[in-house]
Amino acid sequence: MKQGTARKIMTSHSGIRELPLYSLDHQPHLIELYLDGITNLASLPSNICKSKGLVKLHVSNWSKLESLPEEIGDLENLEELDASSTLISRPPSSIVRLNKLKSLSFGQHRSEDGVYFVFP
């Protein structure tokens, strides 16, 4: 794959200890990022929020994820944010800047404690 050509990156149920941030920084055409089931990371690096073209971001089933970076509000094209089955109890305040957001889910590992919104 050429540098900067990825439109979708997926990894799931991985025990990775760090995200390959250099490769994410150099993907200006990245639209979808699925990082589901990460078990060894407690935070999402803020430089992911530099991917201005990102439309879908999934970070569900992170057993240690307690918060999202405040810079998440910089993702001006984000339409779908899935942080379900995490330890996040509320999104950062910058979430109000996501004018194109259509779907937001976050919450505890137990489904009855989760929150799911669909916006018109």
Which pLDDT tens digit goes with each residue over 77-108? 999 999 999 988 888 999 999 999 999 988 76
Distance CA(120)–CA(84), nearest Å, equals 20
4 Rama sector, left if φ>0, alpha if ψ -120 to 50, beta otherwise: left
Between 35 and 18, name the one with better pLDDT.
35
Question: What value, to the nearest 5°, has the Cα angle with vertex 42 and ends 49 and 82?
Answer: 55
Q: What is the pTM of this model?
A: 0.81
Instruction: Give the model's pLDDT for residue 32.
Output: 94
> At residue 4, does pLDDT exceed 70?
no
Is residue 13 classed exposed, middle or buried when 0-12, 13-18 and 19+ CB atoms within 10 A define those classes? Answer: exposed
Average pLDDT over residues 24-46: 82
Domains detected in the chain: 8-118 (3.80.10.10)
Q: What whole-number distance in Å separates Cα of residue 43 and Cα of residue 59?
A: 10
